[in-house]
């Protein structure tokens, strides 16, 4: 009989000791769990990146120590009502199982609590805090990130346990164990590559291993090449690094196609970084021209002709490989300059727009005419004439006057 479950399911840790890495977090959690009624805090919040064993730890520990888990995760709606419906009974009644010897009672497990935000989950956080306060049973929560402002109220009632990415050697150990059980002969470099690529995410490493090795008897480095950017957590930074150092159009195109980054942002980033990649003005001009054509294709794609997107990708791939031989590592600009510029200058622009609107109203012209044709004169008038009739007439506020006088000349 073959077992065709996903390997992440098949090799899910059954006891705490099977979980690799994060020893400190594990110990803290087990101590908290074993204290029973003597716990200082009724709830814990496990937080850290995805795939490092938060959920696995809760499952394995409850399995080992005989708790029953009542679980809610992000797929359930988290309105106060919905949470109360599941949460209240679970927390206020002692389950029938508790009369048997094996179980020690219920644990309410709220997975992915940082998914609680937005309109649909209105009141969700408040409900969770309430449940923690009223609960008769321990509450365990898991989150990918605790920096979110919304989770603040939770921090006060919870014991916080931090999880770190799993160290690469530990991931390799795990992958080796799986290969052994699956009768796969794996090259060490291949496993190392998968492990490094996962960036400490055990779950994605196991998934990658399965997709690269399933059904094979041997696993070589070549089999893992395509994995380079399969990981959805791969950032813009890595993609840029990959494509700019690519040795051929084909290689760059493959990388772009396999990536999962926002391609508008990618387009801007490629455009931003070109002058650092190509120091020769002719190469730069050629590359910029190709990016410009890619942008035209982006315009044609619009919101419906997604079919055309492949030309967009291929042109970008061409743009980064105008002369592969001249590649020298350089420091990438990211996030895109435009996003940075527009973000920092937004208040300034808003002020200028407000001034233009006032001029437009008084002079029967459009705001853009005001900006292009009239502002330069007004600026000089305000600087030269110390009197204020024009300021009063246009009803300019003092900060707007200040803006105009300090404005860099156009």
Q: Which residues bind another protein (CB under 8 A)?
A: 264, 267-268, 271, 274-275, 281-282, 284-285, 287-289, 291-293, 295-296, 298-300, 337-338, 341-342, 344-345, 348-349, 352-353, 357, 360, 362-369, 371-374, 376-377, 380-381, 384-385, 389-390, 392-394, 408-410
Which lies closer to another protein via its Cβ, residue 170 or residue 288?
288
Task: For residue 321, give every residue at least 6 positions away whose Cβ sits within 8 Å of its Cβ, in sequence order, or none.
Answer: 243, 246, 247, 248, 249, 251, 252
Q: How far is the CB of 8 from another protein (least distance, A)?
A: 39
Q: What angle do CA 121, 126, 132 make, to 5 degrees?
A: 120
Which lies closer to another protein via its Cβ, residue 34 or residue 402?
402
Instruction: Please report where in the chains the tokens 């008038």 appear, as a residue.
Output: 381
Q: How far is the CB of 364 from another protein (least distance, A)?
A: 5
Distance separating alpha carbons of residues 31 and 177, to the nearest angstrom: 28
Task: For residue 384, give every residue at least 6 positions away whose Cβ sits within 8 Å of its Cβ, in sequence order, or none.
Answer: none
Q: How far is the CB of 267 from another protein (least distance, A)?
A: 7
Q: How far is the CB of 229 from another protein (least distance, A)?
A: 23
Which lies closer to another protein via its Cβ, residue 38 or residue 409?
409
Of 178, 204, 174, the residue nearest 51 (C-alpha): 204
Which lies closer to another protein via its Cβ, residue 77 or residue 368?
368
DSSP single-letter state for residue 372: I
Q: How far is the CB of 309 from another protein (least distance, A)?
A: 12
Q: Both tokens of residue 343?
A: 């973000």
Which lies closer to another protein via its Cβ, residue 178 or residue 243?
243
Which lies closer to another protein via its Cβ, residue 99 or residue 344?
344
Q: Both tokens of residue 39?
A: 């716990």
Burial of 360 (0-12, 13-18, 19+ CB in 10 A): middle
Q: How far is the CB of 400 from another protein (least distance, A)?
A: 15
Q: Going by DSSP bridges, is the β-strand pair 218-219/185-186 parallel, antiparallel, or unpaired?
A: parallel
Q: Are 111 and 72 in contact (CB under 8 A)?
A: yes
């Amino acid at each position: 009989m073959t077992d065709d479950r996903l390997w992440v399911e098949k090799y899910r840790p059954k006891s705490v000791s099977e979980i690799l890495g994060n020893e400190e977090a594990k110990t803290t959690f087990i101590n908290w769990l074993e204290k029973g009624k003597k716990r200082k805090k009724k709830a814990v919040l496990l937080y850290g990146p995805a795939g490092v064993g938060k959920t696995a730890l809760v499952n394995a520990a409850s399995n080992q120590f005989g708790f029953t888990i009542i679980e809610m995760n992000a797929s359930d709606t988290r309105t106060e009502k919905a949470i109360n419906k599941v949460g209240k009974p679970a927390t206020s009644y002692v389950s029938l199982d508790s009369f048997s010897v094996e179980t020690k009672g219920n644990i309410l497990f709220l997975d992915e609590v940082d998914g609680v935000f937005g309109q649909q989950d209105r009141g969700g956080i408040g409900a969770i805090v309430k449940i923690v306060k009223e609960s008769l049973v321990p509450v365990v929560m898991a989150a990918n990130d605790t920096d979110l402002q919304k989770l603040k109220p939770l921090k006060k009632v919870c014991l916080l346990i931090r999880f770190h990415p799993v160290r690469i050697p530990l991931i390799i150990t795990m992958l080796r164990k799986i290969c052994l059980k699956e009768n796969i002969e794996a090259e060490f470099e291949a496993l190392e590559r998968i492990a490094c690529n996962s960036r400490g995410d055990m779950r994605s490493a196991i998934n990658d291993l399965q997709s690269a090795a399933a059904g094979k008897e041997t696993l070589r480095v070549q089999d893992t090449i395509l994995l380079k950017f399969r990981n959805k957590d791969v950032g813009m930074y890595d993609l840029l690094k990959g494509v700019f150092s690519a040795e051929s159009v084909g290689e760059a195109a493959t990388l772009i196609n396999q990536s999962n980054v926002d391609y508008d942002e990618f387009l801007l980033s490629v455009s931003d970084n070109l002058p650092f990649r190509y120091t020769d003005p002719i190469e730069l001009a050629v590359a910029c021209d190709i990016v410009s054509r890619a942008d035209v294709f982006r315009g044609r794609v619009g919101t419906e002709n997604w079919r055309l997107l492949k030309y967009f990708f291929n042109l970008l791939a061409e743009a980064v490989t105008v002369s592969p031989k001249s590649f020298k590592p350089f420091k990438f600009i990211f996030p895109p300059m435009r996003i940075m510029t527009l973000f920092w200058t937004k208040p300034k622009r808003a002020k200028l727009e407000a001034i233009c609107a006032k001029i437009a109203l008084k002079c029967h012209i459009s705001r853009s005419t005001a900006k292009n044709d009239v502002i330069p004169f007004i600026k000089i008038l305000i600087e030269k004439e110390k009197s204020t009739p024009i300021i009063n007439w246009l009803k300019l506020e003092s900060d707007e006057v200040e803006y105009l006088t300090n404005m860099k000349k156009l």
